[in-house]
Every structure is written in C-alpha cells, then in structure tokens.
Chain A
Amino acid sequence: MITWLRRNLFRTWWDSIMTVVFGYVGLWVIWTVIEFVFVTGRWEIIQVNLKLLLVGRFPDELMWLVGASLTALAFWVAAVAGGSKIDISNRQSLSQRLFDYIRRFGLIVALAALLIFLAADVAALLLALQILGGVVAGRLVGLARRNVGVLGAIPSIIWHPMLASPAVALVLVTLMESTLEEWGGFLINFYMAIISIVLCFPLGVLLALGRRSSFPIIRLVTTTYIELIRGAPLFVLLLLAGVALEFFIPPSIAPDAIFRGVTVFTLFTAAYLAEIVRGGLQSIPKGQTEAGKALGLNTTKITYLITMPQALRNVIPAQIGQFISLFKDTTLAGAALNILDVLNVGTAITKQQDFLGQGLIYEALAFVALLFWVGSYVMSRESQRLEKRLGVGVR
C-alpha cells in the first residue's frame, strides 16, 4: 500500500507537489459538480420542458412514429452488431460478459433511466421497452444470420440495405411528416445525423474511388470537389444553404431548413469520408490487387470483393470519429438555419416566463451537454473496442 502510494503519487518532491495541487483541484471540481447536481441545481426547468428538449412541439398523435423509427433504428444497429462474424465474447464467462455489457451500455441505460425518471410517465417506460424489444429482435436476427445457412447465404450488399431500409424509411417519414414549426429538440439532431451518415457513405466511397481512379478527368473533378469542401467552414456552408440555395435551384423545389441542413451535412461529410476511405485504400498492399488480377477478376470486382472490404474495415475507427463529429456538428444547423435544435431549445427555455432571469442557463446547458456527451462517448468507446477486435494495426 505504502509502496503503491509512493510509486503512483509521491515519487519525488516535485511529484508530491503535483499530487497535492492537482488532487486539490480535482476534488474541488468533483465536489462542485456533485453540489450542483444534487443541491444547488434547480432541475424543474428540465423536468417541465423535457418534451420540448427531446422532440420539440412534435404533435402527440404522431408520437408513435417517433417510437417506431427509434425501434427500427435500434433493431438495425443490433442486427448489424450481432451479425458481425468477428466475435470473441463467446469465449468469456457469463459474469465477464455481463460486466462487459455494463461497461459498454451502462451509460446509455443510465441516461434512459434518468429520462424516464424525469418524464415520470408510463408512455416513456413503454417506449423504452419497445426500443429494448427492437434491440433484442435485432440481436436474434443477427445471430440467425450467423447460424442459419439460408440467411447467411444472402450477400451483404442485399442484407445490409434490407436491414437499414425500414429504419431509414421511418426516420425519413418522421422528418417529413411534421412541419418545421413542430419539429425540434434532440431528436432533430439525432435524425439529421443518421440520415446524413446513411447518405454520405456511398457518396464518400465513390469520391474516394474517383480520387484514386486512373482516369485523369475523374481524378481532377473529385479532387477539386474534396479540396474545395475541406477548405470551407461548415458553418459558412450552412449559412449559404440557408440564404442562397434559392438562387441555384428552381424555387419550386427549394427544401425546408431541415433538408438544407441534411444536404450540406451529407455533401460536407462525404468529402471528409472520401479522404478517410482513400487512406484505407492506400493501406492495402499492392499484392492484394495483383492477386485479384491473377485470378482473372476485373477492376470492378477487385475493388468490390478485395480492396474495398479491407479498406473500409481498416478505417472503421476514423469513420466513426467522423460520424461523431457530424453528430456534434448538427448543433451548427440550429445556429445557421434557425432550426429549433436541442441547443436552441436549451437556451430558449431559460427565457420562459416561469424561469426568466433566474440564471438557469447552467442547468439547461448541462442537460444538453449530457445528451451529446453520452452519445459521443459511447460511440467512441465502441469504436475503440471494434478497433481492438478487428486487430487493426496488430495483424
């Protein structure tokens, strides 16, 4: 014990000073946070406005759409995760696996529990159970794909769109079903991010292929696009889309603010994704392509069957990192396009009649921060886990 203390905290006199100073600062921060959360914080503002913060003024009679789309999303993610062939968890004991699950998803479950507690509503509990059902069903479908021959025989290019399409369709329907004035809250950040991720992925892959293509004109076009987009700030592009999009397309088909945001996010992230995928393609040894040629495959088949799967696998962490920053950047749409996203709602509720001038901005922003933090943190932890399991950089 003494040895441990000496080794970790009081190695030298300088080390001891650092321990005392930083220990004091650390304890002070922890104490302040605890005091804020349990004593001084006035959380009524969150409780009263919970629905506004999460879904805005979404019409009650359409709430089933929100539940259905969230469940479909959970099903999709769980099915993809459960269907992945690289799984070492089977070798672990039950308690180890349980501990692993708690470490991975404990935060999400805790956040869900907190939201249900704040909502104090049976509907919220039912929604959570419905989503959990989606997860379990997805997990079972994933397992079935691994173990039932017929399902396993379906090629990935059909299987994955099949899993994704109900979720994507429901999210799109939810986004379009209700008007901009009714939309708002965290769900709009979440759904804009989901749709943009799904749309930018094929575009980014195509751009990466274009940039590495042997056709000089295609290389020129894609490189120009990628570099132009990467040199521009997202915020200015969003402002431009908000004010100036009408000038570039016939006014009759000008979309509303949400889809302007989605368009910009898609085009923007595709350029960054293209660079990531290009990095992945460059990391594939030349021998792979040559082996493909030796087997008599043409360029399309070599890309689709040999290089692209490996390239995409190698850069999964970087891709997830890009998607996390897209998720965080959806707040910019609120500032640039006047969408009532969760950050805008969060600052607006402090100006309500009941809460005006009481200095509740800390509470409001802390809640918004919690939502984003849990989402991003869990995603980045999962990507680190994937990185380990895929053995990127080790094999």
Chain B
Amino acid sequence: MSSLPSAPAKVPIWRDVRVLRWLFQIAVLAVVGLIIYWIWGNYQTNIERSSVQTDLRFLDNPASFTIPGNDFDQSSPVRAAFVQGFLNTIQVALVGIFFATILGTLVGIARLSKNLVVRSIAAAYVEVIRNLPLLLLLTFMNLAVVLQTFPRIEDAWKPLDLFVISNRGLAIPWFEGSAGQLGLLVLAGIVLAIIVVKLERARADRVGRPSRGLLLGTLALTIVPVIGWITLGYTWTLPFVDGRGTSGGLRLDPSFFALIVALVVYTSSHIAEIVRGSILAVPRGQGEAADALALSNSQKMRIIILPQAFRVAMPALGNQYLNLIKNSSLGATISYFELTQIAQITVGNGSPAVPAFTLTLLVYLAISLFTSLFVNYFNRRLALVER
C-alpha cells in the first residue's frame, strides 16, 4: 500500500510547463518588439537628421510629370498619379490573366495531345519559356521586338488593314461611342447569359439531353451588346496612320504591349504545367467512361475532364494570378506607368521614399488579399462536396 503514488506535489512555478510556455512566448515577443523598436528609433533619428516628410501630405503636391494616354497633367496632384497607376496595374492584371489563362490552358492540353508535332511544340514552348527570367523576356520584348524590329510609323505594318503596328505602339479596331454605354450593354449581356445558361441547364436536366449552355450563353453574351450597339447607332473604327501617329481604333502603348506579351507568355508557360498536371490527376476511368458513352474528343475534354481538372488546378492557378499581378511591377523597368513606376518617379521627384513605397506595398497587399479572397470563394464553389 505504501508504494501507491501520493497526490502529485505542486509543481514549482519555474518548472510549470504552462508558465514556461508563456514566458518563452513573451520573450520572443519582447525580442521582436525590441527589433521593431530599434528600427523605429533609427527611423525617427534618421528622418530628423535629413528632415524629410513622414506623412502622406506629399500626395497633394503637384506631380510635375505626365502620363501619356489620359488627361493627367503636370499640375495634377501625386494622389491622382497613384490612382492612375493603380488603374493601369489593374488593367494589365485583368488583360494578362485573361490571355494567360486561355493560352496556358491551350498549351497544357496540347502537351497531352496524341499528335506528335503538337505535343513536341507545346513541350518545347513550356521548357524554353519557363526557364528564362521574366525580366529577360520583358527586356527582349521591349528592346528587341518593339524598339528594334517594329517599323517606324512611316512604314508601319498594316496586316489586313485592321491593325497598325509600329514602334509607337499597336492600334487595333475598336468601338466608337461612350465607354459607359458599352459597359452597360456588356453587363446586360452577362446578366442575360447567366439567365439563359440557368434555364438551359434546367431544361437539359428535365428532358435528359446534353446542355448547350456554353453555346447559348456565349451567343447571348455577344449578341446583346452587338445589337444594342447597332440600335444605338454607334459604329466601330479602324486605325489608320495619321501623320506621326495613328487615328481611330484603340491605340495600345508600346510599353503596355511589351509588358502584356511578356507577362502572358511567361505566366502561360507556368499555367500550362498546372493544367497538364491537373488533367493527369483526373482519374483515367473518367475519360474511359466518356469514351464508353461515345462522347467526342472535344466533348470529353469540355464536359468531363476539364471541369474536374480545374477543380484540382484552382489553388495553383490562383497563385499564378497573384504572381502575375505582382510581376506587373516589372512594368516600371520599361516605363509603363503602373503603380511601381509612379512610386519610383514621385520618389525621384522629391516625394519621401518611405511613405510612398509603403503606400505602394499596401496597395499590392490589398490587391493580393482581394484576389486570394476571390480565388478562395471560387475554390469553395468548385470543391467537391463530400459527405
């Protein structure tokens, strides 16, 4: 009986695990706090010594530079420059993500093609592009392609008379009329397309026929804006060379063009690998079942394989979109007026560096967080609901 353990003695406080755990954490917090305090102290002394601004008042100063392509002028405040830079970054991001996804998916599918030629070309594309630095591609597009190979405006290339390509940029056919109305029409088209797809899916479920939602939806999406545009009496314009520039159509800045092409090519090579991996991750039985149902190859891809592949690919794709957005900051190296370039110029013009770059970083952080929220939402929608 005497060997029975007695009630555990009270653990002394310096051996108590709970206390030790908190002590350790407080110690780490103290170290981190000390480092931040040290940095903050340095910051205070250094700005006092060099007497620079620390707040965001510089945003109201005149910018004293111009941004081509809009009504921003030298007397506009720095604030407006940042807004314009933000919009340009968003523009590059949206256009880039759109084309990179399409190109990447196509190349990814092509890598698994049964056709030897298609397969090899896709593989070569991915292996060459993926292993090159993005900045090199960008420099190549800017210095070698746009500035050196594109002709001067006097002897611009005019393929089919639809485009005007010169070292002053690229001009493409575009709608003529107010952008607001076009936006409204497109919105109406999207709403109608969603309704049509929903109805068509319900009908297909009812009668047990394959849904033609994609076809009808695309039709609704294109027809509504086109008919609306024509009934409103607007037209479209073709670009043409006009003296030292182009008139009509939509003019794309050479730096915008170079940045978009470099970003799309680079990101698509990464997306292609993701798409390929995701297609391979779809169980073989799914494809075989599609074959057994006598679906055509494109039906098999579109209805059976790709939807399941994108479920797997979504998180990785989201990462690539984030990378593309962050990589758009390289536009600053070829003087495209996106956020980073604006920050660099205003700092060069005497705006305080620390607030300006902190602001820039916060904007990128916000864009990143917003994008990952969006991707996560999509991911949840796509995710398999398990029992």
Interface residues of A, Cβ cutoff 8 Å to B:
7-9, 11, 15, 18-19, 22-23, 25-26, 215-218, 221, 228, 230-237, 239-240, 243-244, 246-251, 324, 328-329, 331-332, 334-335, 343, 347, 359, 361-362, 365, 368-369, 372-373, 376-377, 380
Contact = CB atoms under 8 A, between A and B. Distances in A.
Given A239-B343, A365-B139, 14 more contacts: A19-B115, A217-B25, A232-B326, A232-B365, A236-B364, A244-B354, A247-B353, A248-B46, A324-B131, A335-B333, A369-B132, A369-B140, A376-B130, A377-B127
Interface in B111-146: 114-118, 120-121, 124, 127-128, 130-136, 139-140, 143-144
A21 to B, nearest CB: 9
Contact of B43 (A15, A216, A248): A248
Contacts of B114: 7-8, 11, 15
A146 B330 CA distance: 47
Given A249-B42, A332-B135, A372-B133, A231 B353 contact: no
Contacts, number: 149
Given A215-B21, A248-B43, A328-B134, A9 B329 contact: no
Contacts of B211: none
A231 B115 contact: no
27 contacts: A9-B117, A18-B118, A19-B115, A215-B25, A215-B28, A217-B29, A231-B369, A232-B364, A233-B364, A234-B326, A236-B340, A251-B46, A328-B131, A328-B132, A331-B136, A335-B135, A335-B333, A343-B135, A365-B136, A365-B144, A369-B136, A369-B140, A372-B131, A372-B136, A373-B132, A380-B130, A380-B131
A365 B143 contact: yes
Contacts of A233: 326-327, 329, 340, 364
Contacts of B369: 231
Given A239-B340, A247-B47, A248-B39, A26 B117 contact: yes
Contacts of B29: 217, 221
B360 interface: yes
A361 B21 CA distance: 60
Given A8-B114, A240-B357, A247-B47, A231 B121 contact: no
A239 B120 CA distance: 40
A86 to B, nearest CB: 24
Contacts of A248: 39, 42-43, 46
Given A217-B25, A239-B344, A247-B46, A11 B132 contact: no
A368 B114 CA distance: 35
B136 A231 contact: no
B238 interface: no
> Which of B120, B131, B132 has most A Cβ within 10 Å?
B131
> Which of A231, A243, A329, A332 has most B Cβ within 10 Å?
A231
B132 A240 contact: no
6 smallest A-B Cβ distances: which pairs? A376-B131, A233-B326, A328-B133, A231-B365, A231-B368, A233-B329
